[in-house]
Structure 1
Amino acid sequence: MGLYINKGKHPSVYKNKKKIPEPNQKFVRRDSLTEVIDEQQKANVSLIHAINEMKHQFLNQEMVQANHWDKVTDQLNELRTSNMKHNEYEELIIHLLKTQEELQKQLSEKIDKQEEFQLGVLNRLDKQEALTEKISRQLNHIRSILFERTNYLAEKIDEGYKITSSYVYNLMTGSDQPVTFYLMNNKKVEK
């Protein structure tokens, strides 16, 4: 505790212009209150020192926590960005899958139509083949009929020719012999 000097009423009391040799105190008087006050002052100084140390540690811890929170915030922002990109990719993939699914349906429908068309073509080919066979049989039947009719007509024409030539021969020669007999005699004469 310092020395109090009342400059207003007693400015020169306890003032000395000479150098005071130290230590100048010969007696120390101690009582229990003074000891308690001294111990309290020491405790206060120790407490202030501890508080300052805690304040320093708190500020350091606050800086560490702030850095940690900055890192956590950065990581959260990265996670949000990554999540947004993931969602965008997911939506894109779902869109592509839907588009592939639609294309697959269209392709399946086209394949079904193509199969129906091919079945129709095969059925028509089968009918065409049956018609061709039927026409072929009819043509063979017509050929055989034409052959029979041609032979029949050739025989009839030949008979008609013989009858007509015999008749003309009879008119010209007045003979009753058939033309074949005349032709046979002609061939004998020529030989």
Structure 2
Amino acid sequence: MGLYINKGKHPAVFKNNRKITEPNQKLLRRDYLTELIDEQQQANVSLINAIQDMKHQFLNQEVVQAGHLDKITSQLNELRTSNLRHKEYEEVIIDLLKTQEQLQIQLSEKISKHEAFQTEVLTRLDQQEALTEKIFRQINHIRSILFERTNYLAEKIDEGYKMTSSYVYKLMTGSEQPIAFYLMNNNKQKNK
């Protein structure tokens, strides 16, 4: 914007007929404290924005992890319930086997009179043994599933932890270097 000269009322004010030599400014005052405060405020705004972004991502990750945890909890509860049922079945079968062993002792004493009844009892024992083997296979299968699920969950939690810690480390240091190298360098410097 140029200099305004009111030619109607004050035509001579701010008017110079001579040539102006440049530069005509002899003194420049800089307020370093104000500049520093302005830079600090800009840095604070950037930091607050980064923290807000990180908080938003953390909350999203927390929701995702809560969903995973709910699924895992329900699966574990189902496995526990199934395990309890199988234990009850095992106890019932063990009780039945003990009872049939007693019957066999009694039947062996009366074998001459009860051959037909003994054949039926042996058939039942065969069926019970097959059922017992089936239950033991199911229990082993459940154990292997539980082991696989536990390993899977541990790997997922470990991956989530590594991703979160790398992201936080990157935000805090601005370095693309993994956090493991940072910790190794700190240990080397402490040893020196």
- TM-score, reference length from structure 2: 0.41
Larger-gyration structure (1/2): 1
